[in-house]
Amino acid sequence: MEKSISKVPIDTADNNIEKNALAHFSAGRYKDAAELYKYLLKREDNSFHRQQLAQCYLQRAFGMSAKGMPKEAGVLWENYAEWAEPPLIALDAYILWQLSAKNTQKAYAGLAQLTAKQLDEEYPELAVTLGFLLICGATELAAHIPADSALLVHWAVVQEALLVYQKNQNNDCELALQKLPFRSAFRDFRSLLKAQLISSSSVEQAQAILGKIPVSSPYRCLADAVLATMQQGADFVHTVLSLDSGLRRNVERAKGLSKSQIEFLQALQKLQDQPSAKAQFLCVLKHKSMFGNDAAQAYCLGILVDYPAGLKDYLKQFAAKGSIEEHRIQALLYEQAENIYEAGFCWWRCIDLLELQRPENDKKIALILRRMAARVSLEESIELIIDSLNYDSDDRDSYLKILNYYQQTQANPSEYQAWLETSLQNFPADIDFLARAAKSATDKKAFKKATGYAAKLLKIDPVNSLAKQLLFASHMSHARRLIKTEKFHLVAKEIQAAEQLMLEKTLRYQAELLRGFYIWVAEDKLLGMQQIVAAVEKLNQDPVNAQFQISMETALLELPSASFMRALPASKEHLLSPAQLTRLMTLIKQYAEQVPDSALICQALDKIKLPIKKSIQQQDFSEDLLLAWCQLMADSRNFELLRHCAKPAQAKWQKPIWMYFRVFAESNGDANNLNMTSVFNLQFAQNSALQDADQKTAFLIGRFLESTLDHQNPFNEDFLGEDFPLDEFSYDVFDELFAHVPEKQMHKIGLKVQDILMDTDPDKFINDMVRQYSKKIESKRLLALFNNPVFMSAVACVKAAELLKIDISISVEDIVYRFENDTPQTSLPFF
């Protein structure tokens, strides 16, 4: 029945209202849209507005159904039906909503509107649900289903099958099920009953059939119940806990579960609602017989990390007080709390107890030490790993970590070599250790040893490129020695041996280049020169790299380079591309492995420094490429080219690594050349690197600063020791200036000075102080005084006192007067 609509005069604002209504509808705000459409219909009857209002009610009905509110969904559908034009949509959904809400009268009324064709063909989901309800005992529905529908015909077949199944007449049951068509509304029931029939002969096949029943089917819950009766262990628990309480009780009776097993399932069901670590821990402890003692212990141990309060109960159930297990658990809990100190103490107690029964506990001790090593500083970690090898000397990873430490830190080359030899003794056929040994021998110019290691490596790994490169470099070095000693009859054989290694084209061209030098020296200078030029042009696409390679080869062969350089294109005006700069870096690394020191490389670079400088200045190289270039220049000790790159890069990127390269270059790699500003710059950069988790840069800076005792951190509490003598006058000056300040206040001032110099760039600090006092003290005088570290420290103390609002009765003018009227100091003040 349609609602009567009172007519209201049309207003020009109706167009805006209609737009708003459509906007609400499109955005899914159906309630708001419905209100506006009802308002419009009061003003004028409009078929489109009626249709839109009906759709609003229908969509809201679907929304309520999705929220599990079938009663409300049914009411909204009825509103939809009042406004919609026939045929009505979702009548099947309306019937299902009414059945779910137990409103049978309205459900029956809806069924009465259906024809047999509609039920069987248009509403298959409704037919499946009605069939399911019939099987579950709602037989009164049959009277309201169209009498000529296929659903009722198939229902008679299902009743026949159930009857013979209850009499254990399995063959007759199968024959009855065969009468159900493939698309029958009872097709999932057929699968369910068929799985029951074959479960006695093939559980796997029965489970496969049950698995085909879709999740959306109303029979899925019955399928899960049947499946649970066929399962054991964790699979059974997972399935049975997904059932509702009624089906779960049926499964428990079918499987004949004991009272304790049923209580265990109930406890697991509660855990699904309250999955706290405490609840899980207590549940497993209470029902540990269900899990088995070992499994229960392992689970409880693991969950102690999240429920440390359960330690007492755990030890009571599984371990004796004071045992290794107790200390181990305590250590794990302290690790979880990131209390490494206490964790370490507990681990050492474990080790003490384990050492009482050696050697059977050696492996456990080694594993504890390696676990501890993963949670301490790098230096402590290596000590623990070395200690672990006393208990388990066959751990390859430990040797690799030790070698990596000594290689990266370069702390003790002899230690690296000793550990490398030990590693090879324990793992003589290991590819990694052999490769390291070959590389180490090459670095020390022990080419015969390097060749031996490389040859052994190739026997194990015939395609190992590193071994081939090492052998190639060894053959080339030997060939150069033969040329220099004029043993020409052996040169060709050595070059041929290098070429037979089947390396990449660039290395083969390098062999051709050396053959050209051999021809030039021993046979024909013109032919040799032609071959040299041809080979170097194949190797390099630009004149800069070509000239560098010729310079290196002539230096290694002790030949004059001038005539060869004249045969190559000029390089002064050439700008290197990123690829060409990368090529130059590759060449430098290759030759660095073949020369006794970096002097030859620096001499070769000196001949092409002009185009290199222009390229770095004018080309927009990436930061990563320039970082690699600076590291290579630092390794080669070429401070001129390093300065040319690092200074503008530091100004551009303002990163700790660039400050390190800049200061390293300006001091020519010698910390003794550092002034106080440079020291503070490096300390500031190191602190920034640590804050950015850039451990590599922090380590580089720290190692450089520690390379001389004269440049330690002046604000480190223990920097002064017996091995660090201070000038006696420095003590006197500083003591005279600040002797009257109480010790407590002086300590606060010292801490504040640290903050100032860590948070403020030293150059900025100096500039700020000069600017602040420039009206009272001439800037040149102040800048000269700031070169004195004691003066800078004293001024920093005055600044710190000002910031802390501590009256120390000392001004910067007082400090200037003292330093200008006494001998300038070079040592550091004591805090």
CATH number of the domain where residue 355 is located? 1.25.40
CA dihedral in degrees (450, 456, 459, 464; nearest 10)? -40
119 DSSP 8-state letter: I
pLDDT at 829: 33
3-state secondary structure 709-730: HHHCCCCCCCCCCCCCCCCHHH
668 falls within a domain: no
> Is 34 in contact with 53 (CB distance < 8 Å)?
yes
Tell me the one-letter amino acid at 763.
Answer: D
Report the 10 Å Cβ neighbour count for 156.
10
Question: What 3-state class would DSSP assign to 501?
Answer: coil
| Whole-angstrom distance, CA of residue 376 vs CA of residue 562 | 57
97 falls within a domain: yes
Question: Do residues 387 and 446 both lie within one domain?
Answer: no
Question: Do residues 46 and 161 both lie within one domain?
Answer: yes
* Residue labelled with tokens 């120390």: 808
pLDDT at 683: 80
Q: Angle CA(594)–CA(595)–CA(598) in degrees, nearest 5?
A: 130
827 falls within a domain: no
* Chain Cα centroid distance, residue 17: 54
Q: Which of 83, 79, 5 is nearest to 45 (CA)?
A: 5
Question: Do residues 300 and 448 both lie within one domain?
Answer: no
The DSSP code sequence of 36-58 is: HHHHHHHH---HHHHHHHHHHHH
Tell me the one-letter amino acid at 392.
Answer: D
Q: Write 313-319 long-range contacts (CB < 8 A, 24+).
A: 313/281, 313/282, 313/285, 314/285, 317/285, 317/288, 318/293
pLDDT at 734: 60
Question: Do residues 321 and 388 both lie within one domain?
Answer: yes
Where would I find the H helices in 306-395? 311-318, 324-336, 340-354, 362-373, 378-388
Q: End of a domain among 506, 539, 572?
A: 539
| Whole-angstrom distance, CA of residue 21 vs CA of residue 10 | 16
626 falls within a domain: no
Report the 10 Å Cβ neighbour count for 325.
18
| Whole-angstrom distance, CA of residue 486 vs CA of residue 5 | 117
Q: Is the peptide bond before 829 cis (omega within 30 degrees of 0)?
A: no
| Whole-angstrom distance, CA of residue 703 vs CA of residue 724 | 18
* Chain Cα centroid distance, residue 343: 26
Question: Do residues 438 and 482 both lie within one domain?
Answer: yes
363 falls within a domain: yes
**Domain span at 345:** 245-401
| Whole-angstrom distance, CA of residue 135 vs CA of residue 463 | 71
Q: Which of 651, 573, 639, 652 is nearest to 612 (CA)?
A: 573
The DSSP code sequence of 254-286 is: HHT--HHHHHHHHHHHHHHH---HHHHHHHHHH
Buried/exposed 547-564: b ≥16 CB within 10 Å, e otherwise: bbbbbbbbbbbebebeeb
pLDDT at 826: 34
> Is 639 in contact with 665 (CB distance < 8 Å)?
yes
| Whole-angstrom distance, CA of residue 384 vs CA of residue 403 | 14
pLDDT beneath 70: ranges in the chain: 1-14, 273-274, 319-322, 409-411, 445, 447, 596, 676, 707-735, 751, 754-755, 757-759, 761, 789, 822-831
685 falls within a domain: no
Does the CA dihedral 812-818-824-826 come out positive or negative? negative
pLDDT at 758: 62
* Residue labelled with tokens 């054989």: 493
Q: End of a domain among 511, 539, 567?
A: 539
518 falls within a domain: yes
| Whole-angstrom distance, CA of residue 754 vs CA of residue 742 | 19
Question: Do residues 472 and 397 both lie within one domain?
Answer: no
- From residue 715, alpha-carbon distances to 526, 676, 756, 795, 799 in Å are 67, 13, 11, 14, 15
Q: Is the peptide bond before 359 cis (omega within 30 degrees of 0)?
A: yes
Q: Is 610 exposed, middle or buried (0-12, 13-18, 19+ CB in 10 A)?
A: middle
Tell me the one-letter amino acid at 334.
Answer: Y
Q: Is 718 exposed, middle or buried (0-12, 13-18, 19+ CB in 10 A)?
A: exposed
Token pair for 375: 């949670």
Q: What share of the chain is helix, strand, coil (3-state, %, to 5)?
A: 75, 0, 25
Where would I find the H helices in 607-726? 609-618, 623-636, 639-653, 656-666, 676-691, 695-705
211 falls within a domain: yes
Does the CA dihedral 519-524-529-535 come out positive or negative? negative
Question: Do residues 119 and 193 both lie within one domain?
Answer: yes
* Residue labelled with tokens 């009164």: 140
The domain tally of the chain equals 4
* Chain Cα centroid distance, residue 188: 47
Q: End of a domain among 505, 539, 573?
A: 539
Report the 10 Å Cβ neighbour count for 623.
13
Question: Do residues 446 and 514 both lie within one domain?
Answer: yes
Non-local CB neighbours of 197 within 8 Å, separated by 6+ positions: 165, 170, 173, 174
Question: Do residues 65 and 177 both lie within one domain?
Answer: yes
Question: Do residues 378 and 438 both lie within one domain?
Answer: no
Question: Do residues 361 and 460 both lie within one domain?
Answer: no
Question: Do residues 376 and 493 both lie within one domain?
Answer: no
